[in-house]
Structure 1
């Protein structure tokens, strides 16, 4: 199988890496994190100008017609730079639902603002009681004439405190854990009845708790079928996991590079510590874990576009298991081989480890996905 990038993909990789190398070192990240929104609006505009927000959308919709491979390229570069901007929440999650579930008229109305960087979106789907079960939705949506009224609470809405619009999942029929009866609704973040409590997460990102109190939306706000949104949510979750796997690989690659460089320069007893065989073995273990994660990230990326939900989920879950295990091996090795400096807030290695740890938790940790693969029978279909 040919894993080489096409000419266009190579140009995308070079351009995003050059942008981040020029404008997103660790000190710049610290400054961006102090902005009231938790990231740099200036960098968000730069991503829009460079076409990064347009990557997964078709040319007819104003995008560049990319797919999961192009998204992987961007997310791996973002992982290497520990980017704070809401690319996952706006482009991958909310943008994915607009691509897969919205009508042509809705996409024509809503996507230009997203692609141009003027409008940021967030997916409000998770709830406190649901843990990793995407079908567990307790927020209620009841008909009110031609429109709907939304009532309930959403938890851990990624970048929900700075989003201009929310895509909210709500139950329109059935019981709380039924697979049918789930709809998607576009809600203006400033709409009457919407309240948000933003907070920083452990990895330097932002999230919000969102309360919906008698929030009224019109019929034009319904995205797709008001009772059949779960398949689209599950598909976008798989695409998001593939993107997160790529981001984790970028972060692990940077941790490994920083650690090897440190081993080559840090001296003890008059020699560089990289000359100690036991530390060489530890760095080699980190490299093996990184390459295993990279291979599984490729598999998840290629399978994220599969139309068969079972095949797609099996590959994505397998990748999530390896990402979680490799992230722990690489992160612990990086911190321990750096010694005391690896634990400080002033040095980047600990921040990379925090981000990789958070990625392991998002959309199900390694144990959750290992059980998921076991229920499916195996990683590869017979």
Structure 2
């Protein structure tokens, strides 16, 4: 019989994603007390007591700042996300931000909201007032992009189609991302070069130690006078005090972001949106479906895709008995795992092992059932973080998400 996986949901998750976790194989709810996995969006897990039963955490979105990733890594628990699931939604909001800034839309809307529509001279007031909101077109201007992943590539493509010149920088660009970039994107060699060149500069990087205050007082000073800085990435990537200083000095034209704060409030040079980047039905559906499929493949088969703290590992089933092992990335782990199985008379049919940073992950298919004693011996190996036994269900249950 196939076991039932218990999934704790911390936020409202798209029904399209939840359909990929069907009963009776999955029990999904907000009141699950001993979950095999946690599914969430923006809920803060840092202060949460995470049950020992948790084998995986999946966020239906890109960023994982609300999840204690290092602590979960130390327990051998992968943290999945949905990179690119909301990419089109963010791209469209970035374009919106550029147009809001270039055409002075927020101020124009405030002007219209304050009109006395009953006044006899309304038409003349409108005609006279609109002169204060004259803007400029995007075509012919340079857009600098820092971060050329899925969002950055989509923004680049859209900007080129709008007639903009695009300059991009990403020191860690992947081969797949490079292939997806339009050929017209010019390559910058540093963040400073992008900031110097762009009439608009948009940021699409994760918030990690290396990117905190990536844009600061020193490099904002390099920007063109009147340039527009857009941040739909994470608030900590930009130093707010540096932005406020540059706005006060009329060096920076506009700061457009998706992260309102007390410091930014009331500043006419700031266009702050209420974290709308992924707030579309389509993005929520895409992200939920992606992480549900990843979670299901991991729980049932041990395969890992799009985990922020584990290597990507996938192995087709070649036997009915599979063991998944997460361990510290130290020498002789494979030797100890193989020796333990051989000593128990288990023949290894297939094996794959990969590492990422301090974590390594191994999938092993064997030709006969694995006893609880062998699993305990594997778990007792110094450096092993988690051991999962994944026998193929005997009742015909399938992992096909459709």
The two structures have a TM-score, normalised by structure 1, of 0.26
State the structure with more CA Rg.
2
The two structures have a TM-score, normalised by structure 2, of 0.25
Greater share of helix: 1
Larger relative CO (CA 8 A, sep 6+): 1 or 2?
A: 2
